[in-house]
Structure 1
Amino acid sequence: MESDEMFHPSLAAALMKLDPEDGGKMLEYFQTHALLAREKALLQASVREQKKLLVENGKLKKDIEELRHQLGDKQRRRAAKSVLSPGEAADPAASPSRRVDLQMTGRQRGEKKAAPEALPPPPAPAVDVSRLDLRVGRIVGVRRHPRAATLTVHDVDVGEKAPRPVVSKRRPGDQPPLVGSLAVLLCNVKACKVRGAASRARLLRCFRSDGAAELLAPPAGSNPGDRVTFLNYPGEPDRELKAKQRVWDHVQPGLLVDAEGVANYKGCGFRVEGKGPCRAPSLTDGTIRCT
C-alpha cells in the first residue's frame, strides 16, 4: 500500500484508531503533502544543477578563447620566422637595424635604385565634330532682349524638363524664327549671361557670301532632343567645351553647306538617325556658324 511506503505502519494505524471515519482521508492528505514536498526538493536540486552547469560552461568558453588567441600568436610568430632565409635567421648581422645600416652604406657609395618606367600620357582626344553636342530643338518662345535692341532671346525645347534660354544676335533685316519651328543647337557650350540674360546654348545658322543667313534646319520628323551625328566621326561629345581648348574654333572652318544645301563637316553630312540630313532651307554654298 502506498501509504505504508510514505508513513510508518504504526502512524497509519494510530490515525485509523483515532478517527475511524476520517482517518483514511487524513492519511491521504498527509501523503499528498509529502509527495509535493519531495517534488519541490527535486525541482530545487535541478535548478541548482543547471546554474552550476552554466557557470562551468562559461568558464570553458573563456578557456577556449584564451587558447585560440595563444594559437594565433604562435602561428603569426612562426610565419614571421619563415620569411627570413636560413642565413639571415642565423646571422646576427641580418637584424633589422643591421639591414638599415647596410642600406645607408649603399647610398653613401652612390648606389641608386632604378627609377620605375613612367607610363606614357594618355592620347589627347581628337579635335573634330564628334566633340560637339548638336541637338534638334523646337523654338517655343521669342522675345527681344530687355537691354539690347540687337539681341533676341529664344526659349528652345531640346527634350529636357524645361526649355533652354538662348541669346542670339539679330542683324538688320533678319526675321526672327517662328514659334514652333525646328533648329539645330550647340548644347555643350558653357552657360553664360549676355547683357544680363542667361544663355545656355547656341543656334546654328547658314551664311552665304552675300550676307544672307538662315537657321540650319533638321530633317522633317525630327523631335526635340534628337542628336545630330556624323557617320565618319563617331564618339560621345564633351560634357562641356572648354574655352582654352577652342574646339569650336578648330572645327568651325570645316562646317559648310554644299551646292545642294546639305550641311556637312569635311564632306560628311549632318544627320539625324533615321530621319535624314540637315540642310539650309534655301541657301547653297555657304558656311555654318553659331549665333
Structure 2
Amino acid sequence: MIVARSLLRMAAADTLKRLELRAKQADETIGYLKQQVEALKKHAVSSLADEEVRLEAENEQLKKDIENMKNKLIYLETQNGFKQVALPSAAVASAVSSGPSAPPAQAAPAKEAAKANDKQPNEKAKKKEGKPQKQKPKAADEPVDVSALDLRVGYIRSVKKHPDADTLYIEEIDCGEEKPRNVVSGLVKHYEISQMSERLVIVCCNLKPAKMRGVLSQAMVMCASSPEKVELLDPPEGSVIGDRVSFEGYAFGDYPPQMNPKKKIWERIQPDLQMSDAGVATYKGTPFKVEGKGVCTAPSMKNSGIK
C-alpha cells in the first residue's frame, strides 16, 4: 500500500509539472499572438495612411490635368471662332436684378462755361501777367497706381530654352491679339517645359519691349515670388484668352499703350503687389479680378511679393 501511494504521488507530481509546462507554453503562445496582432494593426494603419497620401496626390494631379485640358479646349475653340460665354456670378446677377443705377449728375453746359470765360478777358490777362508761372511736377512725382498696368489672360502656346542663357525660357503667348507675343522669362529653375506649355497665365502687356540676351521680350509673365519659390499666377476658372484683369475702385482701361521707363511706373507700383494670406494676388489689398469669373491666385504662396 505504501509503495502504491508513493507511485500515485510521483505520477500526480509528474502530471502537475507537465500541466504547468503546458500552461507556460500556452501563455508564451498567447503573448506571441498578441504581438503579431499589434504588428498587423500598425501595418494596416500605416498602409491606409500611405494609400490616403497616394490618392490625394493622384487627385491633385487629375485636377491639374483636367484644368490644362480645359484650357487647351478653350484655346482651340477660340482659334476656330467659337465664342466663350461665362455664366454670370452672384454679384453680377444681383446688380442686373436691382435695375440700372441713377445716371450721374450732368456738368454745367459748355456754352455757359464759355460765356463765363469770355467775361473780362483783359482783367484775366493782367492777373496772369502778375502771377509767377507754376512749375510742372517732375514725372517721378506724378501719382501712379495699378490702373497703369495692362494685365491680360494669356495662353502659352509653346516654350523653349533660350539658346544663350541657361536660366531663361522663350515663350510664345497668345494674348487675344492678331499675333502672339514673344516673352522671355527666368523660370527654368522653377518649372519644367511641360509644366509651362499650354496653360493660361497673367501677362503684363504694356512694358517697353526689351532684349534679354539678344532675344526681344514683348511682355512679362506675372508670378508670385519669394526667396525660396516662384509660382505663376493662375487666372480664375472660366477665364479665356484676352480677358482683362481689373481692380475694384481703380480706373479700368486707363493704362498707357506702353509705359515710359523713365517715369519708373512699374518700379513704383510693384512693391504694392502682394499675395494675401489666402493665396490671392492683390494690389494694396485689392484682388486681381477677371470680371464675372473670379480672382487670380497662386495657392501655395502666402504673403509674398508679385513680379
Q: TM-score, normalised by structure 2?
A: 0.53
CA distance in 2, matches of 1:166, 1:173: 16
Q: Does residue 170 of the first structure (1) align with residue 187 of the second (2)?
A: yes
Q: Does residue 115 of the first structure (1) align with residue 132 of the second (2)?
A: no
Shift of 1:175: 2.8
Shift of 1:283: 1.8
Q: Kindly tell me: are residues 220 and 115 of structure 1, through their superposed partners in 2, closer, same or farther at Cα, counting changes over 3 Å?
A: same
Q: Does residue 157 of the first structure (1) align with residue 171 of the second (2)?
A: no
- Matching residue of 1:240: 258
Tell me, what secondary structure is at the counterpart of 2:222? strand
- Matching residue of 2:290: 272
The RMSD of aligned alpha carbons is: 2.4
Equivalent residue letter for 1:230: F
Runs of 4+ in 1 over 6 A off after TM superposition: 116-124
1:168-221 Cα offsets, whole Å, 9 max, x none, are: 113535334432211111100111221221210001111235x11110111011
Q: Kindly tell me: are residues 157 and 190 of structure 1, through their superposed partners in 2, closer, same or farther at Cα, counting changes over 3 Å?
A: same
Q: Kindly tell me: are residues 114 and 140 of structure 1, through their superposed partners in 2, closer, same or farther at Cα, counting changes over 3 Å?
A: closer
CA distance in 1, matches of 2:167, 2:180: 22
Equivalent residue letter for 2:155: R
- Matching residue of 1:143: 160
Worse-matched range after superposition: 167-176 or 120-129: 120-129
1:38-93 Cα offsets, whole Å, 9 max, x none, are: xxxxxxxxxxxxxxxxxxxxxxxxxxxxxxxxxxxxxxxxxxxxxxxxxxxxxxxx
CA distance in 2, matches of 1:119, 1:113: 12
Equivalent residue letter for 1:231: E
CA distance in 1, matches of 2:134, 2:127: 21
CA distance in 1, matches of 2:159, 2:192: 11
Asked if 1 retains the 8 angstrom alpha-carbon contact of 2:201 and 2:234, the reply is yes
Q: Kindly tell me: are residues 173 and 133 of structure 1, through their superposed partners in 2, closer, same or farther at Cα, counting changes over 3 Å?
A: closer
Aligned length: 177
Q: Kindly tell me: are residues 151 and 120 of structure 1, through their superposed partners in 2, closer, same or farther at Cα, counting changes over 3 Å?
A: same
CA distance in 2, matches of 1:132, 1:114: 38
Tell me, what secondary structure is at the counterpart of 2:152? strand
Asked if 1 retains the 8 angstrom alpha-carbon contact of 2:190 and 2:229, the reply is no
Tell me, what secondary structure is at the counterpart of 1:283? coil
Equivalent residue letter for 1:233: Y
CA distance in 1, matches of 2:128, 2:152: 53
Query: Mind listing any 5+ residue stretches in structure 1 that lack a counterpart?
Result: 1-111
Shift of 1:252: 0.7
How many percent identity over aligned positions? 41
Equivalent residue letter for 2:226: R
Asked if 2 retains the 8 angstrom alpha-carbon contact of 1:208 and 1:284, the reply is no
Q: Kindly tell me: are residues 145 and 122 of structure 1, through their superposed partners in 2, closer, same or farther at Cα, counting changes over 3 Å?
A: same
Query: Mind listing any 5+ residue stretches in structure 2 that lack a counterpart?
Result: 1-125
CA distance in 2, matches of 1:256, 1:205: 10
Q: Kindly tell me: are residues 197 and 114 of structure 1, through their superposed partners in 2, closer, same or farther at Cα, counting changes over 3 Å?
A: closer
Q: Does residue 228 of the first structure (1) align with residue 245 of the second (2)?
A: yes
CA distance in 2, matches of 1:155, 1:136: 14
- Matching residue of 1:260: 278
- Matching residue of 2:304: 286
- Matching residue of 1:48: none
1:13-46 Cα offsets, whole Å, 9 max, x none, are: xxxxxxxxxxxxxxxxxxxxxxxxxxxxxxxxxx
Alignment map for 1:176-195 (pairs within 5 Å): 176=193, 177-195=195-213
Equivalent residue letter for 2:167: T
